[in-house]
Structure 1
Amino acid sequence: MESAITVTPAQLPSLLLHLAVVRPVFLWGPPGIGKSSLVRDFAAALGLPCVTLLGTQLAPEDLIGVPEIRDGRSRFAPPEVIARTEPYCLFLDELNAATPEVQKAFYSLILDRRIGGYELPEGSIVLGAGNRSSDNALARPMASALVNRLVHVHLRASSTDWLVWAAHNGVHPWIFDYLTDRPDQLWSKPPKTEEPFSTPRSWHMLSDALHSYGPDVDEETLTVLTHGTLSTRHATGFAAYVKTVRHRYGLDAIVRGDAPWPRAANDRDLLFFFTEAFRARLIKDLPASREHASPSVRSFAARAKVMLVELAEISLEYAQIVVAADDDGMPVLPGWFLIEVSRDLPRLVAARA
């Protein structure tokens, strides 16, 4: 299930504060954006213990219990982890990955807050979460009866929210600074093959690994760590960024003209990183209309055209990356700048010749 109407992690708590106390809520979202952590944090904020049941690890009897004889009659005894006397948060994680039989066993618990003769204590809340089938995650269709028993909320990754969280949770400074400059790389769509991809969770895993190795992690090990946690493109970019940090050599120096584009064959990753950073800088700093460009921005635009010529001399492919359209074929750089580039490039090339 996907929706065009989404919320960020920072928006979720206030939404749950009104929804979850009156109806069970199901959180949809891609893997690795923190659905489970958000539920546990919300429960903790309410002062409720959080009991997590994983849909992929349950059988129907794990919910409804097994029959026992009491006073000559049989009754189902729900498991101890559920049958509590004090209010709590029941978190049904990976609910839509459970088998149809397990999903059916949840019906009365979700709608009536009851299993057999056991009823959830007053003040308890029920939350579920699951990945989307479009993200190549394990997800089974949910029966319409179950869908209709839940309020559905769709989460999206937010670099702004994550960076606020990262600043207070010890995320490695290399990662914090890199994603501050490249927030578009916090999350990438899961690939169709079994390979790492970038999510808030994978960046956090990389942060833990970097803390473990310390500042002297060698380049080969860094390559192993990044390519083992992130998408290939993001891993290459981050490794190149670390190289710039260590050598104090950044895009600003190239823009000022204090340093050239890297040309060495073993600095190809660095050149690619600067190429993408240059494109991101243009997208961020150039206004949609030239009339709204300040003198300093116009000066930067003029310098950017010279930089494009210099980059094309090293790699025409990388220069094309800077001005390329997005995946839908739409321009990402302002039209006025692209017109000036096509108009002035021949003159700038001739001048350098």
Structure 2
Amino acid sequence: MNAKKVKSSLRTLISLKQPVFVWGAPGVGKSHVVAQVAREMGLELTDVRAVLLDPVDLRGLPSVKDGTAHWCPPSFLPTKGEGVLFLDELNAAPPLVQAACYQLILDRKIGEYTLPDGWTVVAAGNRESDRAVTHRMPSALANRFVHLDFTVDADTWLEWAERAGIDEEVLAFIRFRPKLLHAFDPKKNDKAFPSPRSWEFAAKIIASTPDPDVEFSLLKGTVGPGAATEFAGFSRMFRQLPDPDAVINQPDTAVIPEEPATLYALCEAIAKRAGEKTAENIVTYASRLPSEFGVLLVRDAVKHHRGVVETPAFSHWTTANAEVLL
């Protein structure tokens, strides 16, 4: 399921205090989604990396009082309030550490420690097929969770990326080549490969305007040589686009690029400029584009400015493109 469905599922399961395990390939954003859901629900998030623990760490250390040994729980386990106890990379932990989590996950306690009523256990990890560092999860532990499979969806990621202010060059490229948002092959030993996480890194690199002599090397080390080569070609074209503001100012006569990649990039740049003063002209220009690009431009412009749908040009455009919009 995509990020939206995973978030919706997490909200339901967290409200029920039902332990849940999120599975997904490296770099798809599992940890980010769990943190985002906790934040949106107004819950505290305690992130515990199980792979860094020893089996005894969860139970804590003994102390003696009045001749009786008592276990002092570790400080990272919550004692009050409401929140999410996030056991990230749980299946990367050694089997003995996973076994130590049994009681905590099912019975909400371990030794003398009890998880507060307002807290829910959420775990995440990579799949065994991804050739990441994992240990097979014992069936007794697996049966304590509801399991969610996290898959990458370009449209969902693009919606998030626009809100997050990801560089428009990267957004335009992913619209043009959505399959390169996540291209991970566990059979290869690539150090770098395209993923939602690595494209976010790439966007930060581009926004920092690095030295042109090293830009490609940086991208190659971030998203891998294949994706970096395609992006570099797209980027050269993107940086030579017609001025989006000039296109908006003269929508009836502005040039219409012939190359699909150029059109994708130009639509991305124009849509971001949608506003009260530009909406009419943007739709006018969209009406001159091939139908699929006109739909792309208007749809993205509406995301940035809802007033686009109230313009006279929008009414004419929807009538002319009724067959495409059905």
1:119-134 alignment runs, 5 A limit: 119-134=114-129
Q: Kindly tell me: are residues 209 and 76 of structure 1, through their superposed partners in 2, closer, same or farther at Cα, counting changes over 3 Å?
A: same
**Equivalent residue letter for 2:48:** L
| Structure-2 change in CA distance of 1:62 and 1:190 (3 Å) | farther
> Is 1:45 aligned to residue 46 of structure 2?
no
Query: For residues 255-274 of structure 1, what are the alpha-carbon distances to aligned partners after superposition, in whole Å with 9 as ceiling and x for unaligned?
Result: 8xxxxxxxxxxxxxxxxx99
Paired residues of 2:45 and 2:83 also in contact (CA < 8 A): yes
Residue number among 250, 253, 260 corresponding to 2:258 in the alignment: 253
Q: For 1:204, give the aligned amino acid.
A: E
CA deviation after TM superposition for structure 1 residue 195, in Å: 2.1
Q: CA deviation at 1:71?
A: 3.1
Aligned to 2:12: 18
Within the candidate set 105, 111, 127, 1:110 is matched to 105
Matched, 1:211 2:216: no
User: How many residues in Structure 1 have an aligned counterpart in Structure 2?
Assistant: 251
TM-score normalised by structure 1 residue count: 0.67
Of 118-127 and 205-214, more deviation after overlay is shown by 205-214
| Rounded Cα–Cα distance in structure 1 between residues aligned with 2:256 and 2:231 | 14
Give the partner amino acid of 1:205. F
- Report the equivalent of 1:241: 234
Could you tell me whether the CA contact under 8 Å between 1:67 and 1:77 is conserved in 2? Answer: yes
Identity of aligned residues (%): 37
For the 8 Å contact 2:183–2:195, the answer to whether it is kept is: yes
* Local SS of the residue matching 2:117: coil
Report what 1:36 is aligned to. Answer: 31
User: Which of 208, 214, 225 is the matching residue for 1:221?
Assistant: 214
Give RMSD over aligned pairs: 2.3
Selected match of 2:133 from 120, 135, 138: 138
**8 A contact 1:94–1:129 mirrored in 2:** yes
Partners of 1:113 and 1:243 lie apart in 2 by 55
C-alpha distance after superposition, 1:16-49 (max 9, x if no partner): 1222333100000001011001111111112111
SS in 1 for 2:91: helix
Whether the aligned pair in 1 keeps the contact of 2:190 and 2:224 (CA below 8 Å) is: no
Distance apart, 1:252 and its partner CA: 4.2
- For 2:78 and 2:194, how far apart are their aligned partners in 1? 39
What TM-score, normalized to structure 2? 0.72
Match of 1:66 in 2: 61
- Alpha-carbon shift at residue 83 of structure 1 (Å): 4.1
Measured in 2, the distance between the counterparts of 1:31 and 1:63 equals 26
Find out whether 1:197 has 2:193 as its counterpart.
yes
Q: Which amino acid aligns with 2:193?
A: F
> How far did 1:177 drift?
0.9
**CA deviation profile, 1:197-227 (whole Å, cap 9, x unmatched):** 000000000011111226xx51x32211220
Cα gap change, 1:96 to 1:188, in 2 (>3 Å): same
Instruction: Answer yes or no: is the 8 Å Cα contact 1:83–1:118 preserved in 2.
Output: no
Aligned-partner residue type, residue 70 of structure 1: K
How far does the alpha carbon of each residue in 1:278-299 deviate from its partner, in whole angstroms, 9 at most, with x for none? Answer: xxxxxxxxxxxxxxxxxx89xx
Aligned counterpart, 1:96? 91
For 2:63 and 2:91, the matched residues in 1 are separated by 30
Counterpart AA for 2:258: A
**SS of alignment partner, residue 153 of structure 1:** strand
Q: Counterparts of 1:158 and 1:93 in 2: how far apart (Å)? A: 22
Between the aligned partners of 1:248 and 1:18, the Cα distance in structure 2 is 45
